[in-house]
C-alpha cells in the first residue's frame, strides 16, 4: 500500500489529538511486536522448524492487525466523525474507504 494511493486529506496530525494514555497504549503494543520480530530472528538463527516459525509469524501478524484495527476504529469514530460534523467530512470518508479497500487486499 502506497501512501500516495490512499492519502487524500492534507493533514499531519490526528484531527482529534491522541491522549498520552492512547499513545502509551499503542507504543506498548508496538514494543511487544518489535520483541516478537526479534524473537523470529532468533528462531531462524537457531534453525527452528519451518512450521514453528510460520506459527510465530502469524502471531505477529495478528498483533499488527489488532493495532491497525484499533487505530482505524479510533480514526473513524473520532477524526472522521468530527470532520463530518464540521461539514468537511467527504474527503475524510473517501480516504477512510480507500484505507479499508487497501487493507482488504
Site for a copy of itself in 57-96 (CB under 8 A): 57-62, 64-65, 67-69, 71-77, 79-81, 84-85, 89-90, 93-96
Q: How far apart are CA 74 and CA 41, in angstroms?
A: 32
Residue burial 3-17, b: 16+ Cβ < 10 Å; e: rest: eeebeeeeeeeeeee
Residues 3-32 that bind a copy of itself (CB under 8 A): 3, 6-7, 9, 11-14, 17-18, 23, 26-27, 30-31
Smallest gap from Cβ 97 to a copy of itself, in A, equals: 5
Q: How far apart are CA 101 and CA 91, in angstroms?
A: 15
Alpha-carbon Rg for the chain, nearest whole angstrom, is: 17
x-marked contacts with a copy of itself along 28-57 as a string, rule CB under 8 A: --xx-xx--xx-xx--xx-xxxxxxxxx-x
Amino acid at each position: 500500500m502506497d501512501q500516495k494511493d490512499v492519502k487524500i486529506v492534507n493533514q499531519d496530525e490526528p484531527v482529534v489529538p491522541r491522549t498520552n494514555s492512547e499513545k502509551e497504549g499503542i507504543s506498548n503494543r508496538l514494543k511487544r511486536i518489535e520483541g516478537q520480530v526479534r524473537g523470529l530472528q532468533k528462531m531462524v538463527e537457531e534453525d527452528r522448524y519451518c512450521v514453528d516459525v510460520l506459527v510465530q509469524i502469524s502471531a505477529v501478524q495478528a498483533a499488527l492487525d489488532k493495532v491497525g484495527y484499533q487505530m482505524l476504529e479510533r480514526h473513524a469514530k473520532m477524526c472522521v466523525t468530527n470532520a463530518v460534523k464540521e461539514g468537511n467530512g467527504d474527503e475524510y470518508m473517501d480516504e477512510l474507504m480507500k484505507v479499508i479497500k487497501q487493507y482488504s487486499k
